[in-house]
Amino acid sequence: MPDTVQASNAEVFENLRLELRRGCLVVAVLAALRTEQYGYTLRKALSENRLEIDEGTLYPLLRRLESQGLLVSEWREEDKRKKRFYKLSPEGKQILKQLHTEWQLMDSSIKEILKEQSHGTHRALSTGR
């Protein structure tokens, strides 16, 4: 495959990968905040689970989730610095549970579709059509 086509495919893949990950961030953040954390530690926790998120995305997201009543926050002093700690609210816990169920449904649907497609491909290959 020529280099330009490969580079173009890589770019397409990267854009779609970011789109896919963007959809997962809310669930990941809510799940991570079952334990109280502040912004930087939350970023690190997600990064350790191979979900990189930059501060420009995380903090606006945290504010949005808080404005929706899914998170609660408070400023506290730790290591001589004031930090804003976040954790799930009761509504947030409920929503996380629902999103988790939704996630599992989507996961099994995708798996089914991929299984059907791979059987179809296999059949097509074996019959020569």
Partner 1 sequence: MELIERYLQAVKFWLPKKQKQDIIAELSEDLHSQIEDKESKLGRTLNESEVEAILKQRGRPVLVANRFLPQEHLIGPVLFPIYTFVLKIVALCYLVPWVLVWIGLMTYSPNYRVQHGGWLAAAGAAWGSLWTIALSAMGAVTVVFAVLEQVQAKSHFLENWNPRKLPPVRNANQIKRASSIAEIVGNFALIGWVSYLSSPLIVNRPEIQILLAPGWRYFFWGYMCVALANSGLSVANLMHPFWTVRRAALRLLTDCIGSALFCLLMKANIVAAITAPKLDAARSLEITNSANLWMDKAFSPFALLVGVGIMAGGLYRIYRVKKTPISWIQGVASVVR
By the criterion CB under 8 A, which residues form the site for partner 1? 38-40, 43, 54-57, 59-60, 63, 75, 81-84
Comparing CB distances to partner 1, the nearer of 55 and 116 is 55
* 3-state SS, residue 68: coil
> To the nearest whole angstrom, how small is the minimum distance from the Cβ of residue 57 to partner 1?
7
Tell me which residue of 7, 53, 13 sits closest to 33, measured CA to CA. Answer: 53
> To the nearest whole angstrom, how small is the minimum distance from the Cβ of residue 80 to partner 1?
11
Comparing CB distances to partner 1, the nearer of 36 and 57 is 57
Q: How far is the C-alpha of 84 from the C-alpha of 91, rounded, in Å? A: 20
Q: Where is 81: in which H helix or E strand?
A: strand 81-88
Comparing CB distances to partner 1, the nearer of 40 and 116 is 40
> To the nearest whole angstrom, how small is the minimum distance from the Cβ of residue 127 to partner 1?
38
> Is the Cβ–Cβ distance between 32 and 48 less than 8 Å?
no
Comparing CB distances to partner 1, the nearer of 47 and 104 is 47
> To the nearest whole angstrom, how small is the minimum distance from the Cβ of residue 56 to partner 1?
5
Q: How far is the C-alpha of 61 from the C-alpha of 66, rounded, in Å? A: 8
Strand order in the sheet with 37-38: 37-38, 81-88, 71-78
